[in-house]
Structure 1
């Protein structure tokens, strides 16, 4: 998911937040140095975890829906507060409160306009990944069904109450992560077993630091590079599958 604060906001962040980032990076380095991924009996288990918007999809569908059906100006207004005065959940709630279109109309539009990154369906059938998203079951599942992989993946996402006076987001998690201070995807990782994480944006930062191996693109790749955290670039899922 592409929710990434503007460069100006990044430059303004200093002090405690910068120290917290360094702590996260150090923790990830220590975790990589420990032996992980063994269940009783010594069997290695690798879980493939994928972000959805901007990772599986070529373009962030949350942003597409806002552009087509919501208040186009709210994205710029609230994204600048992301990670500063607003959590990701608060930003998403504010953005989608401006969407009043019927859910069926939005789903039909997404089915016609959403492109999936090449190789995803084949990878999903072979690896049966876990998809963790800041988006919505109601808009993701029709696309998974279109691709023929609805039953091949496990999906963890938020839900919608698509009211005509503005959509309400029913968040699957409200409690804040003890590491990053926001409700985040780190809670979805297993306590044991190797994790390969694939993502692209702000919501993927904390969970990427907890993974054993990371494939990244766009804002997540830029952020990891700036923090000195190793990752592998994501182009498409055919290339990713060849490296697993």
Structure 2
């Protein structure tokens, strides 16, 4: 009787049982996510160790690049080697942890790229790659995490991924809060990060054209339209002095809809 009542009220939500390959691919992309978080923690520990001893990277450019790597080696040689053995040992251990975790992450990246190039998720991954901020790694992760895109719509994918505002309403009072953060947290984080790429001026370069060349012409055209639309949305929100984090979440919610549109697109 309960099942009949739920079915009559349309309260039973259909689910898709993932295939063995999809489960295997999910294990891989989630292992890569674990490696990313471990790398971030290892880098944080190393940088804070140096900060405690007054060593701050100020030679220009971003951290964790080739120039930053050379600065780390010079700092060890010029400032730490002559100090206490404990500090030097701690630096070496933290530096080795960063190098080991970076190699682990890169190894997983190569394995994901190989699967993304030749698997049942390759067509979806290439279509998703027509959008800015959606690299091969991001597109493949979204493809395997969501799986069957046809069970969703452009309207409900945002709520499925927890990108819609929470609400506490009573009577005539309607109060909205932060996003619900329900659903797949990994896919939500990927979309949040991808949304930041739509803030700068949109000028399709070689990387974007190379991705479009791998996808059907219709997908490339839709991806271009989505990129232009999302950049315009960024401009409008910036003009209205929206907080960047709030604006980016709104862009990520709309980006989820564009991803769904490309994922369910007919390959032909």
- Interval containing the TM-score (normalised by the shorter chain): under 0.3
The higher relative CO (CA closer than 8 Å, separation ≥ 6) is in 1
- Larger radius of gyration, structure 1 or 2? 2
More strand by share: 1
- TM-score, normalising length: structure 1: 0.25
TM-score by length of 2: 0.23
Please state which structure has a larger fraction of its residues in helix. Answer: 2
